[in-house]
Amino acid sequence: MTERQRILDEAKRIGAHLLPAQQVLRANYSPKKIEEYFDRGCGECLLKDPRIAEAMATALRFWHGKKYRLVAWCIMPNRVHVVLHLLPGQKLPEVVKSWKIHSARAANRLLGRSGAVWEREYYDRLLRGEGELDRAVQYVLNNPEKAGLKNWKLVWAEGREALNTADQETGYKSVASYHPSPDRL
């Protein structure tokens, strides 16, 4: 069973009404449908807690300008979206790991618990050219509204000038999206 299938099973367990087609999805899921579950607030939603969300924002900003350049980010109640430009010599898995470690330690300390906070996997995508970068930034910035979150404050973007570097050869752009650990759902 995949991580995403476990999420669907958990949605069913907590009483989310699954349509017949969505029940079939439990066996044969689609990323779009999974995103809909996340938009509905499925999972523990640790990042709804402003203290934990701020710890995540601090983790994102910590190496900004040193290991990567943040282009845009959005901290949702149950996931994080980031568009960034890795600086030369940096590796995305190491960057994401540092975000997860910092924010998980802070969350566990604030909540007086221990254990996994984030799932091991994350989704990343190489962005090629200004058009793809612009679409990724718009996706990140529009995500709270799409999920029905009104006046969501945990969204940040560097500005239009960030898009001018899309074709430079130093590093690459990537969207990293990661979610809480299914163990915590």
- CATH at residue 82: 3.30.70
- 159 pLDDT higher than 80: no
Q: Find where tokens 């995508």 sit.
A: 125
What tokens were used for 86?
A: 């890795």
Residues 26 and 109 in one domain: no
Average pLDDT, integer, range 33-37: 68
Residues 33 and 72 in one domain: no
Residues 22 and 63 in one domain: no
Residues 108 and 161 in one domain: yes
Which pLDDT tens digit goes with each residue over 39-94? Answer: 777 777 899 999 999 999 999 999 999 999 999 999 999 999 999 999 999 999 99
Look at residue 141 and give its three-state secondary structure.
helix
Residues 24 and 81 in one domain: no
Q: Is the C-alpha dihedral spanning 128, 102, 108, 120 positive or negative?
A: positive
Structural domain for 78, as ranges: 46-184
Within 8 A by CB and 6+ apart from 16, the residues are 37, 40, 42
Q: Are strands 155-157 and 68-76 parallel, antiparallel or unpaired?
A: antiparallel
Residues 54 and 26 in one domain: no
Residue of 85 and 178 predicted with greater confidence: 85
Residues 14 and 76 in one domain: no
Look at residue 153 and give its three-state secondary structure.
coil
Which pLDDT tens digit goes with each residue over 93-141? Answer: 999 999 999 999 999 999 999 999 998 888 888 888 888 899 999 999 9
pLDDT, residue 164, reads 38
pLDDT, residue 25, reads 60
Report the candidate in 72, 81, 74, 92 with the shortest Cα–Cα distance to residue 137: 72
- 36 pLDDT higher than 90: no
Residues 26 and 97 in one domain: no
Count up the domains in the chain and report the number.
Answer: 2
